């Protein structure tokens, strides 16, 4: 048997460092968490070459006393815990005491730190875990840690690093999550000498989201606020994305437990279940959720990097997040503004042939005859600098019979031709009396070929008198009109939509036999009638409000298994509320005797079999929402079909139900039901309003 021996200190530290420090992102995470625990209000991170060559974290926290600087770099040295009982009440981010020791073992590292009120700071330098310098130094209050040449002494691990851009993105992603978890702290990220984002540190989560992810992401968020009534201790706050703007992956599902960014299958399952009937297949909700729980029911020590947590009561946490998100989706107004394209000429749609190209024609433009001299030539009785009157009649020049020909103009020019306008000299001279207006000459005869282009025929200009200074100008678009566009901040948007929905909705028509057109106040409303009716039926099924039940003259007979019959009998009351009645007197043949009126024309044999199969599948958990998949199919089959013509009364009834019911904003498959287009946006498109 090989001899057993204790590993040398340097090798043991390299192995231990590999458990905590995987890449520059790990270094940035550990140093930033230490800065937060130090009470910092401003934290700056700087990366070069993705953090491999250079990584710096600066904070204005409490700093480290000179006599404790070396101790901080020893393994398992920490100020966060004293006894084993402290592990049950951990509120700090770093507590293992491994971060600094692991980082310095695989890099060239230096630290500058000074406590508040201290005359000098401390400068400490290590290479590969070995001290090379320890001295007093001038530095600002707080701590600055610089890490250079990561994994310079571990080439095998350095070989597993990705490109600098990928490593930098991973580090930035970690820093973003930490910044979101502490909106009361101002975070700044600098990459390759360029500032990527700065959070204001005002304590508002929405401000941090806006600063990091930008205007477009923040605009589509809904606020979440939930406090568990029973047992206390669990609260859920933050923001979730409107279902229409869901993401193709889970990259923007951000969860924080007691201020720590974590991954948790329980939290992911809870939010996706809340979105189940509002989101399209293949899409995932985005969120930034803060979960506060007692540290006694969460284990943050199960993962070396503390990236995953485990709850002692998974069901309780699941329910808290599920109802928090579901409440936000139901209480907030899932109304969307119709997005108009920015370009004035939208690109041609696929399959639509382009209009024929009109050949360029350059017709000659005929204008009324002007005196054959320079327009600005001096006229007798006027100053040399005074422009000549536009329609002055020369004393000795007769009018020619043929109008003068002006230079040809390309008819495809986008700028309309404007006649030259000049003021009469008498209009600029205040002391002279205003003469009688001069009548313009008779219009010339227009050739027949030119009459097809009336916009190219120059009209004689009429002198325009200047507007006196005391006459007020025509007012431009008021700020009140611009307020018809919904604001970006979630609470303000909800208030604006609430005001809009207090208006009465009136149907004005139908488009393509599928879209209901209506108006409400100063809002134009478009409703997808199939999606809307589908959601109405779905809500009736799942809330057991199908009172329009129809008894079948000929019951539908279905042969079922004993498990299916037992499941139907256990859920008979639930199915009765959904509009379905059964007769079990001829078991194993079950008779479907009543269905909702909206399902009377469907394949009832298949419906009866589907009901039995779904009930058997969820027999151990007979919750109504577990039958949602079946209700999806029923509602979709029974809803109004696109292309079906409906009377205006039917459309008005549908529009009122959609407008007044906050639940009807998406079909069960996640497609939106209605869009809004404000009067201001319409008038802006028609150029009646200028920004």
More reliable by pLDDT, 158 or 501: 158
Mean local confidence (pLDDT), 104-131: 92
Residue for token digits 């809004």?
676
Per-residue pLDDT at 538 = 83
Residue for token digits 């048997």?
1
Instruction: Band the pLDDT of 298: cuts 50, 70, 90.
Output: confident
Q: Are 416 and 455 in contact (CB under 8 A)?
A: yes
In the chain, the N- to C-terminal Cα span, in Å, equals 85
Residue for token digits 């600002």?
140
Report whether pLDDT(111) > 50.
yes
Instruction: Band the pLDDT of 25: cuts 50, 70, 90.
Output: very high
Instruction: Band the pLDDT of 175: cuts 50, 70, 90.
Output: very high
Instruction: Band the pLDDT of 423: cuts 50, 70, 90.
Output: very low
Residue for token digits 């282009």?
453
pLDDT, tens only, 562-596: 888 888 888 888 788 778 889 988 888 889 998 88
Whether the model pTM is above 0.75: no
**What Rg do the C-alpha atoms of the chain give, in angstroms?**
38
C-alpha 75: how far from its chain's center? 44
**C-alpha closest to that of 30 among 225, 168, 175:** 175
Per-residue pLDDT at 202 = 93
Per-residue pLDDT at 21 = 83
Report whether pLDDT(74) > 50.
yes
More reliable by pLDDT, 460 or 123: 123
Strands 287-292 and 235-241, bridge-based pairing: antiparallel
- Work out the mean pLDDT of the chain and round it to a whole number: 75
Where does 310-364 show beta strands of DSSP type E?
310-311, 336-337
Q: Are 411 and 367 in contact (CB under 8 A)?
A: no
Weakest-pLDDT range from 468-482, 531-545, 645-659 = 468-482
User: Rounded CA gap, 527 and 349, in Å?
Assistant: 23
Structure tokens at 482: 């611009």
Q: What percent of the chain is modeled with pLDDT above 70? A: 65
Q: Which residues of 345-381 are buried (b: 16+ CB within 10 A; e: fewer)?
A: eeeeeeeeeeeeeeeeeebebbbbbbbeeeeeeebee
| Contacting residues for 89 by C-beta, under 8 A, at least 6 apart | 295, 296
User: Rounded CA gap, 678 and 681, in Å?
Assistant: 5
What domains are there in the chain, each with its CATH number? 9-198 (3.30.565.10), 220-332 (3.30.230.10), 500-676 (3.30.1370.100)
Residue for token digits 């508002």?
204
How many CB atoms lie under 10 A from the CB of residue 573? Answer: 10
Report whether pLDDT(302) > 80.
no
Structure tokens at 142: 């707080």
User: Rounded CA gap, 166 and 71, in Å?
Assistant: 34
Structure tokens at 103: 């980082």
Q: What percent of the chain is modeled with pLDDT above 90? A: 25
pLDDT, tens only, 199-248: 999 999 999 999 999 888 898 899 999 887 665 678 999 999 988 888 88
Where does 305-462 show beta strands of DSSP type E?
310-311, 336-337
């Amino acid at each position: 048997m090989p001899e057993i021996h204790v590993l040398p200190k340097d090798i043991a530290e390299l192995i231990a460092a590999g458990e905590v420090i995987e890449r520059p992102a790990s270094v940035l995470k550990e140093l930033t968490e230490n800065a937060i625990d130090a009470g910092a209000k401003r934290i700056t991170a700087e990366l070069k070459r993705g953090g491999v060559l250079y990584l710096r974290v600066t904070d204005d926290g409490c700093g480290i006393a000179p006599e404790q600087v070396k101790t901080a770099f020893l393994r398992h040295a920490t100020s966060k815990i004293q006894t084993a009982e402290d592990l049950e009440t951990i509120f700090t981010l770093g507590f293992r005491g491994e971060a600094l020791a692991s980082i310095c073992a695989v890099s060239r590292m230096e630290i500058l730190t000074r406590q508040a009120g201290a005359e000098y700071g401390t400068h400490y330098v290590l290479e590969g875990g070995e001290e090379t310098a320890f001295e007093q130094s001038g530095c600002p209050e707080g701590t600055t840690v610089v890490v250079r040449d990561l994994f310079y002494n571990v080439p095998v691990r350095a070989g597993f690093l990705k490109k600098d851009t990928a490593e930098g993105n991973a580090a930035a992603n970690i820093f973003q999550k930490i910044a979101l978890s502490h909106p009361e702290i101002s975070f700044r990220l600098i990459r390759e000498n360029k500032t990527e984002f700065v959070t204001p540190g005002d304590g508002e989560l929405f401000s941090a989201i806006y600063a990091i992810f930008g205007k477009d992401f923040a605009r589509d968020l809904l606020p979440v606020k939930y406090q568990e009534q029973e047992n206390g201790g669990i609260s859920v706050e933050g923001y979730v994305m409107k279902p229409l703007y869901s993401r193709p992956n889970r990259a923007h599902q951000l969860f924080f437990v007691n201020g720590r960014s974590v991954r948790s299958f329980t939290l992911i399952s809870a939010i996706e279940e809340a979105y189940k009937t509002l989101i399209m297949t293949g899409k995932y909700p985005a969120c930034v959720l803060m979960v506060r729980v007692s540290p006694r029911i969460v284990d943050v020590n199960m993962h070396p990097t503390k990236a995953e947590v485990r709850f002692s009561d998974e069901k309780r946490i699941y329910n808290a997040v599920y109802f928090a998100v579901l409440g936000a989706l139901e209480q907030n107004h899932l109304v969307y503004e119709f997005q108009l394209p920015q370009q004035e000429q939208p690109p041609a749609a696929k399959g639509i042939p382009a209009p024929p190209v009109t050949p360029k024609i350059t017709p000659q433009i005929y204008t009324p005859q002007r005196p054959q001299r320079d327009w600005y030539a001096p006229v007798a009785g006027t100053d040399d600098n005074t422009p000549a009157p536009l329609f002055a009649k020369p004393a000795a020049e007769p009018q020619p019979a043929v109008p003068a020909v002006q230079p040809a103009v390309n008819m495809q020019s986008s700028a309309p031709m404007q006649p030259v306008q000049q003021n009469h000299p008498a209009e600029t001279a205040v002391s002279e009396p205003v003469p009688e207006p001069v009548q313009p000459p008779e219009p010339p005869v227009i050739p027949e070929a030119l009459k097809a282009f009336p916009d190219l025929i120059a009209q004689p200009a009429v002198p325009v008198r200047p507007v006196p200074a005391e006459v007020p100008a025509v007012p431009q678009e008021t700020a009140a009109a611009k307020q018809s566009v919904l604001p970006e901040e979630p609470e303000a948007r909800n208030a604006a939509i609430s005001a809009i929905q207090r208006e009465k909705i009136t149907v004005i028509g139908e488009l393509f036999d599928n879209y209901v057109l209506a108006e409400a106040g100063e809002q134009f409303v478009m409703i997808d009638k199939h999606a809307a009716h589908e959601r109405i039926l779905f809500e009736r099924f799942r809330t057991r409000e199908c009172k329009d039940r129809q008894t079948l003259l000929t019951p539908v007979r279905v042969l079922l298994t004993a498990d299916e019959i037992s499941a139907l009998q256990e859920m008979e009351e639930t199915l009765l509320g959904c509009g379905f009645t059964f007769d079990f007197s001829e078991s194993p043949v079950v008779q479907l005797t009543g269905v909702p009126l909206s399902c009377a024309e469907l394949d009832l044999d298949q419906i009866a079999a589907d009901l039995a199969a779904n009930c058997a599948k969820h027999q151990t958990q007979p919750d109504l929402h577990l039958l949602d998949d079946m209700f999806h199919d029923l509602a979709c089959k029974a809803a109004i079909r696109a292309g079906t013509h409906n009377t205006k009364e039917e459309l008005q009834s549908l529009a009122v139900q959609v407008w007044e019911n906050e639940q009807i904003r998406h079909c069960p498959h996640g497609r939106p039901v209605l869009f809004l287009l404000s009067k201001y946006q319409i008038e802006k498109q028609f150029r009646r309003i200028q920004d």
